[in-house]
Structure 1
Amino acid sequence: LSSSMMTSCVTSNGNAKKSSTKAPRKRAKKNLSEKKMDDATTKNVNEAFTPSVLNNQITAMRRLVKSAKQKLIQKMNHQIKKMQIITEKNQSEKMKKQMEKLKQDIVAMQIIDKDDVSKFALVNKDSLEKLLNKPNLSSSERALSNWRRLLLLMQM
């Protein structure tokens, strides 16, 4: 072994202590949100997603989807509480309708499977504005769209 490979450490009493000769290992990423998506998501859907590739992408996104769900529900509950304070002061029908929509979105998010969210995020490449501007959008579709938007933001 060459002396350049070995590292040493000086102890409190002044003696040099030899340490490991192995090269330091790179730490694996613990947080899956740090893991970037494959280039397969940018290709044409038909040629990019074989069943095994799609399954790998979905399983890689599970932790990210779960944390996005928690953040969105927390944000929506916060918005509802703010709206309740405002509606106590002035009886606004518009605010009440918005509160009902948010409550429906929260219920829909609790029902939707996290793998379905991953599939929706991988397949739908439309912008959030296009998805949300559709008339008669159901609460589950609104929840999926918002979830997808947050997933994309968390992956960056």
Structure 2
Amino acid sequence: MSEYIHKRHNVTTLLYHLVFPAKYRRAVFDKAIDKRLGDVCLELEKRYQLKFLEIGTDEDHVHFLVQSVPSYSVTKLVTLIKSITASEIFRLCPHVKKQLWGGEFWSDGYFASTVGRHGDEHTIRNYVKGQGKEYQKLHEDRQLALF
């Protein structure tokens, strides 16, 4: 369960759902790799300002539910988790490196999404409307713009 992180001037609860596919979408995850990955992630918690709330693996990808602080961008979290877990799994399980032709452990891509602790977008909109005496919507954009 996520907790509020209290810092000197802010209180946050930032949750991210991250999905990392293995390189070439190879089915490299088994019970031994899962155990090593879990152990490495728990060690990361001790050294960095992040907490793994859940880690789930499929044969060729991993789902992480991660809580962190505002000073860690999504890119920084992804880079940190990918680089350290890859090097440690290669070190602890050399047979995986052979499976991946001696290359990288993770593919270059990833999926990232924020997760609300208190509800979805609709719930938050209603909460904002209920604050104060008279709610005035200043802006609403429901169409994604092309850059």
Based on CA coordinates, which of the two structures has the bigger radius of gyration?
Answer: 1
With normalisation by structure 2, the TM-score equals 0.26
Higher helix share: 1
With normalisation by structure 1, the TM-score equals 0.25
If asked which structure has higher relative contact order (CA below 8 Å, sep 6+), I would say 2
